[in-house]
Amino acid sequence: MGDGEFNLINRLFRQDSGPRNSFTRLGIGDDASIHHPEEGMALAVSSDSSLQGVHWPDDFPLDKAADRAVCSALSDMAAMGAETRCIWLNVMATDSRAVAEMAQGAMRALARHDVELAGGDTCRAAVNALSVTVAGQLPEGAAMQRDAAGSGDHIWLAGRVGWHALGLQQWLAGRYDGEFVPCFEVITPLLQTGIKLRQAGVACCIDISDGLLQDAGHIAAASGVGMDIEITALPDWELLCQAAGEASALALAAHGGEDYALLFTAPDELPVAEGLAVRIGRCRSGEGVSLLLNGKKIEIEKAGFDHFR
């Protein structure tokens, strides 16, 4: 956005003056930000883009879209078990009003989760979009990875699945004040849950961004195991059936993305997980993910699942 870019960034993306944590020694305003990782701590970094018309509907408010984009990025820190430190934000916007709205939403999300903005840029574009890069810290060797599930491990889920997609369906149907719309509008990354699981020694975790079946499949493929997941064991399964009917509930639960629940594997007994998560299945030898309805394997069509994409 030319010369005006710098003043704009300074005005829109201002936080409390000075770095917010000892990790960041030099924040926005130079060619790069400078950070001092703590001794013995590893760094976790993830970067994702969110685009209007792809990751959110064209007529969805841009401040809420940016809030969601930031929170979905933070969720990757939860999945690794990292303590989130800061983000770098690239804002692509069709006009200055769009920049202002996305800045407002992004800063709101950062304030809510006490995360620092360390850098990034702003650029005029034909489409509204954000790229969010997030960094966190965790002890060396402690990261929860997708490849650490073993045959016999129990499968746990912290958080619900299907509700984001249900809210999106309501929103797309024009019921903007629908009771489930907040499940779509606001993403809550399970940052503290991720840290607690990592501290409890959980080795294998993923966040559900693309749908339970697909994301469980990433663990199965990376770990070289098969997975059996009992749908009726999902948190609030009965409520989801009441809200959407069983057929829709199955599709929502299996394929609905962006709930950012944490799927992890652990022994049968995991005291720290009580109250945070429920057991929904078990890893076995073999490959692939089987979804079970009351113990009987079922196929759940993705075609029946509505999405604005």
Write down the H helix ranges in 163-211: 163-172, 181-185, 191-199
Q: Does 31 bind a second copy (CB under 8 A)?
A: yes
Are the CB atoms for 230 and 280 separated by under 8 Å?
Answer: yes
Enumerate residues 6+ apart whose C-beta is below 8 A from 299: 291
Q: What is the dihedral of CA 101, 103, 107, 108, to 10 degrees?
A: 10
Are the CB atoms for 109 and 70 separated by under 8 Å?
Answer: yes
In the complex with a second copy, the residue whose CB is nearer, 157 or 241, is: 157
Please select the residue that binds a second copy; options are 67, 76, 83, 259, rule is CB under 8 A.
Answer: 76
In the complex with a second copy, the residue whose CB is nearer, 147 or 246, is: 147
In the complex with a second copy, the residue whose CB is nearer, 72 or 290, is: 72
**What element of type H or E holds 264?**
strand 262-266
Are the CB atoms for 303 and 254 separated by under 8 Å?
Answer: no
Please select the residue that binds a second copy; options are 131, 169, 193, 223, rule is CB under 8 A.
Answer: 131
Residue 205 Cα distances to 59, 110, 198, 202, 287, angstroms:
34, 24, 9, 8, 17
> Using CB under 8 A as the criterion, what x/- string covers residues 177-216 for binding a second copy?
-----------------------------xx------x--
* Pairing mode, strands 116-124 and 83-93: parallel
Q: Specify whether the backbone of 295 is left (phi greater than 0), alpha (psi in -120 to 50) or beta.
A: left
Stretch that binds a second copy, among 103-111, 128-136, 225-233, 269-277 (CB under 8 A): 128-136
Q: Does 120 bind a second copy (CB under 8 A)?
A: yes
List the interface residues with a second copy, window 233-252 (CB under 8 A).
none
278-207-173 Cα angle (round to 5): 95
Beta strands in 94-203 (DSSP E): 116-124, 129-139, 154-158
Please select the residue that binds a second copy; options are 9, 20, 46, 70, rule is CB under 8 A.
Answer: 46
List the interface residues with a second copy, window 283-302 (CB under 8 A).
none
Q: Does 35 bind a second copy (CB under 8 A)?
A: yes
In the complex with a second copy, the residue whose CB is nearer, 4 or 182, is: 4
Q: Does 51 bind a second copy (CB under 8 A)?
A: yes
- Minimum distance of a second copy from residue 189's CB (angstroms): 11
Site size toward a second copy (CB under 8 A) is 60
Q: What is the rounded CA–CA span in Å between residue 230 and residue 5?
A: 52
Which residues of this chain interact with a second copy, rule CB under 8 A? 2-3, 25-26, 29-37, 39, 42-49, 51, 53-55, 76-77, 79-80, 82, 88-90, 92, 118-121, 123-127, 129, 131, 133-136, 140, 143, 145-147, 206-207, 214, 222, 309
